[in-house]
């Protein structure tokens, strides 16, 4: 009898397990919401949407940002609303659909209906019919009628307070929705008036209409007149720069930012030696010329950089330019295969063994143009330079990653009113100091960081929040899909965390703590950053520096809409301002701008 019971139990267990595996394998992930009823679904599991993976939801219509002429003609008359109402409702419908669908697992039931644009299907989320969910939201239209009239009325009232405008990225001008020049723009985004970039100009053709239409909205939303703070701060021999990526929506190879000009000036004033330890080089002609001139006047250039075993996988392709100028160079290519996933991720340069240029900024078009959000520290100190030289020499002699030796001398330096602590990965286990500073906080912790995946740092931030510390975090839009990302855990703990919504990357790796400390450098807050890669991290102790950076963080916080406290901006879509016209593959899927489904009209 017991054998029979055991056999039955095993059969039931195996059957249940088989059903579970089947359901998991049959579930598909939505990667993009083109409209509330037109979706990019990862059917083949390669995380890239092809033309045959565009799915239209059957048996329901919806308001959308770009309704067809037939939709407009039919429903303006039927629902007694105008074209602007329909587009405003489409904006809210798009937000609703993204919240309901993005990155969710769904089941597809394909229908016989066909179209040149998409394949039709019924969609279920957790066994709930999406068409019914959309209908009940007040945005769905079923058989020519509003599926939920009560919610539709509330949506219409809310939509009329949006005051949408058309922002043309190419001209950096904004237009009313009715403006013929706004309609003609190819590279455009619809957004609420209060989210217009501060440097955008009104269209002269519809300027009067914009002023009249949005006079009321300013009082409703109490739109702040945000003045960007200074992006350079100095205290004698230590100077801090940070870039404002809300003002640079396209990268270029011109040397116009403060950081690039400062670097060129350091090269021009070098006399003996320039030691360069960078992740890689994406050519900036002025930098190349300055280094060429330095070499011609007898300055010795040495170069350490990251290089993959497979040349096609080396991220930056212009390393040979500096390599040919250098008297000696070394990459981490020849490390053992077991360490091949480790990076030489530093970004520091030492001039004449007396000045250090370091921070989060890569030596690239996206870095030096100010397109990415970064910070840079220039330190005039022979003692600090000598400390960095010890690290550089190890790598130049072929010791990278875990093969390096920990420095035996002090890592703490006093330069005027500023104290600097220098940490190198992977030897120094930098998280110990980070967590110590987090635990000591009593007022605030501001974190503008590319990503947060380090579990112990995450738990320290959560603990600080629970004891009453004001913790605010901004991470890059790409990082919500990073393996081991902790953004959900941080939000669920009650911490305010926003994803940025601009074209460039929020690339800094920074914490500002209690008007006292700044943590910055090349090291991401990740296990790889601490325990695998070659990195450098600096702890700056100086009240004036910390207050200045805190002011800049608050400015960035205001420049990002509060809706991204809950929703994740998508890096190449109309969520992220400028990302559909910047010529950059923002989400690393091999598609740029309008070739990416996130930017489809």
- Label each residue of 332-345 as H, E or C: CCCCCHHHCCCCEC
What is the arithmetic mean of pLDDT over 153-174?
A: 83
Closest CA to 535 of 332, 335, 367, 373: 332
- Is residue 77's pLDDT more than 90? no
- Predicted confidence (pLDDT) per residue in 362-401, tens digit: 999 999 999 999 999 999 999 999 999 999 999 999 999 9
In the predicted model, is pLDDT for residue 17 greater than 80? no
pLDDT, residue 391, reads: 98
In words, the CATH class of domain 26-160 is mainly beta
Is pLDDT larger for residue 161 or for residue 585?
585
Q: What is the pLDDT of residue 305?
A: 96
The span from the CA of 371 to the CA of 502, in Å, is: 9
Half-sphere exposure of 351 (CA within 13 A, CB side): 20
Report pLDDT for 281. Answer: 97
Distance CA 411, CA 422 (A): 5
Distance between CA atoms of residues 107 and 307, nearest Å: 42
Question: Is 146 exposed, middle or buried (CB count within 10 Å of its CB: 0-12, 13-18, 19+)?
Answer: buried
> Which pLDDT value is given to residue 204?
66
The predicted pLDDT at position 600 comes to 62
Tell me the C-alpha distance between 577 and 587, whole Å: 14
Cα separation, 167 vs 198, whole angstroms: 12
By mean pLDDT, which of 206-210, 391-395, 556-560, 572-576 is the weakest?
206-210
Domain boundaries, the chain: 26-160, 164-221, 232-565
Question: Averaged over 268-274, what is the pLDDT?
Answer: 98
247-260: per-residue pLDDT in tens? 888 999 999 999 99
Q: Average pLDDT of 570-599?
A: 83
**Angle at Cα 428 formed by Cα 426 and Cα 433, nearest 5°?**
120
Asked which of 186-195, 249-258, 487-496, 541-550 is least confident by mean pLDDT, the reply is: 186-195
DSSP codes of every residue in 13-79? HHHHHHHHHHHHHH-EEEEEEEETTEEEEESSSSS---GGGEEEETT-EE--SS--HHHHHHHHHHH
DSSP string, 513-579: ETTTEEEEES--BSHHHHHTSBEEEEEEE-HHHHHHHHHHHHHHHHHS-GGGGTSPPPSSSTTSBTT
Calculate the average pLDDT of the chain: 87
- CATH 2.60.40.3140 applies to domain 232-565: no
pLDDT tens, residue by residue, 175-191: 887 777 777 776 778 88
What are the Cα distances from residue 215, in Å, to 193, 204, 220, 224, 559?
10, 17, 9, 14, 20
> Does the pLDDT value for residue 207 go beyond 50?
no
Please tell me whether residue 601 adopts helix, strand or coil conformation: coil
pLDDT band, residue 216 (cuts 50/70/90)? very low
Q: What's the pLDDT band for 464 if we cut at 50, 70, 90?
A: very high
Residue 263 has pLDDT above 80, yes or no: yes
| Alpha carbons within 13 A on the beta-carbon side of 240 | 28
Mean per-residue pLDDT, 87-103: 88
Q: What is the pLDDT of residue 5?
A: 52
Q: Comparing C-alpha atoms, which of 570, 347, 373, 562 is closest to residue 479?
A: 570
Residue 414 · residue 383 · CB < 8 Å: no
């Amino acid at each position: 009898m017991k054998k029979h019971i055991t056999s039955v139990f095993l059969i039931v267990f195996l059957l249940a397990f088989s059903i579970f595996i089947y359901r998991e394998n049959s579930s598909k992930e939505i990667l993009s919401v083109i409209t509330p009823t037109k979706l990019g679904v990862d059917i083949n599991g390669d995380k890239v949407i092809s033309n045959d993976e565009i799915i239209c939801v059957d048996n329901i219509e919806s308001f959308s940002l770009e309704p067809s002429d037939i939709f407009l003609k039919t429903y303006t008359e039927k629902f007694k609303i105008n074209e602007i109402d329909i587009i405003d409702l489409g904006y809210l419908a798009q937000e609703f659909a993204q919240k309901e669908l993005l990155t969710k697992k769904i089941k597809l039931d394909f229908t016989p209906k066909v179209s040149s644009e998409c394949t039709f299907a019924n969609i279920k989320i957790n066994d709930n019919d999406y068409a019914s969910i959309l209908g009940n939201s007040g945005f769905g239209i079923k058989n020519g009628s509003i599926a939920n009239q009560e919610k539709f009325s509330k949506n219409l009232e809310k939509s009329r307070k949006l005051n949408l405008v058309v922002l043309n990225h190419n001209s950096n001008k904004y237009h009313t929705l009715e403006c013929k020049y706004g309609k003609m723009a190819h590279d455009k985004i619809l957004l609420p008036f209060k989210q217009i970039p501060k440097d955008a100009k009104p269209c002269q053709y519809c300027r009067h209409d914009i002023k009249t239409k949005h006079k009321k909205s300013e009082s409703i939303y109490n739109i702040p007149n945000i003045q960007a703070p200074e992006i350079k701060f100095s205290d004698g021999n230590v100077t801090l720069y940070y870039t404002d990526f809300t003002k640079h929506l396209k990268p270029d190879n011109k040397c116009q930012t403060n950081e690039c000009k400062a670097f060129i000036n350091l090269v021009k004033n070098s006399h003996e030696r320039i030691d360069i330890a960078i992740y890689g080089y994406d050519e900036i002609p002025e930098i190349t010329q300055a280094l060429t001139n330095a070499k011609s006047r007898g300055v010795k250039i040495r170069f350490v950089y990251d290089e993959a075993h497979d040349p096609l996988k080396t991220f930056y392709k212009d390393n040979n330019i500096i390599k040919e100028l250098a008297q000696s160079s070394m990459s981490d290519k020849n490390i053992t295969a077991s360490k091949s996933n480790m990076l030489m991720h530093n970004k520091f340069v030492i001039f004449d063994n007396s000045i250090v240029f370091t921070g989060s900024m890569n030596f690239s078009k996206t870095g030096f143009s100010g397109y990415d959000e970064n910070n840079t520290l220039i330190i005039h100190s022979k003692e600090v330079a000598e400390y960095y030289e010890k690290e550089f020499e190890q790598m130049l002699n072929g010791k990278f990653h875990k093969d390096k030796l920990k420095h035996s001398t002090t890592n703490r330096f006093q330069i005027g009113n500023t104290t600097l602590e220098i940490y190198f990965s992977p030897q120094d286990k930098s998280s110990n100091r980070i967590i110590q500073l987090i635990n000591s906080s009593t007022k605030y912790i501001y974190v503008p960081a590319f990503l947060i995946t380090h579990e112990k740092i995450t738990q320290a931030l959560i603990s600080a929040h629970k004891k009453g510390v004001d913790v605010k975090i901004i991470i890059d839009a790409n990082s919500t899909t990073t393996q081991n990302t902790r953004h959900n855990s941080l939000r669920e703990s009650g911490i305010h965390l926003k994803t940025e919504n601009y074209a460039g990357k929020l690339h800094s790796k920074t914490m500002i703590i209690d008007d006292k400390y700044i943590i910055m450098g090349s090291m991401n807050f990740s296990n790889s950053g601490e325990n695998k890669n070659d990195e450098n991290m600096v702890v700056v102790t100086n009240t004036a520096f910390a207050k200045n950076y805190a002011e800049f963080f608050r400015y960035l916080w205001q420049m990002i809409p509060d809706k991204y406290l809950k929703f994740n901006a998508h890096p190449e879509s109309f969520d992220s301002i400028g990302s559909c016209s910047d010529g950059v593959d923002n989400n690393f899927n091999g598609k740029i701008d309008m070739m990416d489904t996130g930017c489809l009209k």
